[in-house]
């Protein structure tokens, strides 16, 4: 039964991620469902060919999980549409000296040329 909860959770996560990036979130409900169902069917098919009995169900579940993972990865890698905040790049700061992109979550000096990035904070 827990897979059904995870299924709905993933639909919520994918549509929320897509909405944050500027996409219509309702499109990501069928998108997620189709990938999970296709994964489950492929898993079941492989299970029918490879094993017998209840173990086929395990294959179907693994297939569904792979389908779900693929939907999550695709949604995570969607381009942020113009005008939307890119939350993945909120802590990325371009060095004014060498243009190297630094993650300033932990360090405030440029990884490449060691320039101090603190005065250039604009968040
Ligand atoms: Zn630099």
**What angle in degrees, to the nearest 10, is found between the helix axes of 28-50 and 2-20?**
140
* 94 CA to centre of ligand 1 in angstroms: 8
The residue extents of the domains of the chain are: 2-76, 91-120
- Residues 6+ away with beta carbon under 8 Å from 71: 10, 14, 31, 32, 35, 36
Compute, in angstroms, the gap from residue 20 CA to the centroid of ligand 1. 30
Q: Is the pLDDT at 24 greater than 80, yes or no?
A: yes
Question: φ and ψ at 2, to 5 degrees?
Answer: -65, -25
List of residues 6+ apart from 52 with CB closer than 8 A: none
- How many other β-carbons are positioned within 10 Å of the β-carbon of residue 28? 23
State in Å: Cα 91 to ligand 1 middle. Answer: 15
pLDDT in tens, 28-58: 999 999 999 999 999 999 999 999 899 999 9
Q: What is the pLDDT of residues 66-111, one digit of tens each?
A: 999 999 999 999 999 988 888 878 888 889 899 999 888 888 899 9
Residue ranges with strand state E in 1-123: 92-94, 101-103
Q: Whole-prediction pTM value?
A: 0.73
CA 123 to ligand 1 center in whole angstroms: 19
Cα 86 to middle of ligand 1, angstroms: 22
């Amino acid at each position: 039964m827990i897979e059904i909860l995870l299924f709905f959770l993933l639909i919520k996560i994918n549509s929320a991620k897509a909405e944050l990036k500027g996409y219509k979130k309702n499109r990501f409900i069928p998108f997620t469902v189709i990938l999970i169902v296709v994964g489950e069917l492929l898993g079941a098919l492989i299970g029918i060919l490879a094993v017998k009995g209840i173990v086929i169900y395990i294959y179907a579940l693994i297939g569904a999980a792979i389908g779900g993972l693929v939907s999550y990865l695709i949604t995570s890698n969607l381009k942020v549409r113009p005008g939307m905040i890119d939350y993945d790049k909120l802590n990325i700061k371009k060095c004014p000296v060498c243009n190297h992109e630094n993650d300033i979550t932990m360090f405030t000096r440029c990884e490449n040329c060691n320039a101090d990035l603190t005065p250039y904070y604009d968040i």
